[in-house]
Amino acid sequence: MGDVFAFFFAGIWGILVFVISIGIYFLPTIIAIARRRDNILAIFLLNFFLGWTFIGWVVALVWSVKN
């Protein structure tokens, strides 16, 4: 199993997929930073700790784009 991960992340495509995945995961935080929200830290913490549940990710996304 370790050889599969080593092969995957050894190439540029593996690194590119990893970076894009991290970018999508932290999209609510990126949007909050771009929109200069007052509660960037709270959105980041919600995204970091509960983003993997998808419900937490959606809540953070809505929170980052709402007025």
CB 59 within 8 A of CB 53: no
Question: What are the pLDDT digits (tens) for 14-41?
Answer: 778 889 999 999 999 999 999 999 999 9
Alpha-carbon torsion, ordered 42, 44, 48, 54, to 10 deg: 90
Q: Which amino acid is at 38?
A: D
Give the global pTM: 0.81
Give the H/E segment covering residue 28. helix 27-34
What is the structure's pLDDT at 13? Answer: 76
Domain boundaries defined on the chain:
2-65
What is the structure's pLDDT at 45? Answer: 97
Tell me the pLDDT of the chain averaged across its residues.
89
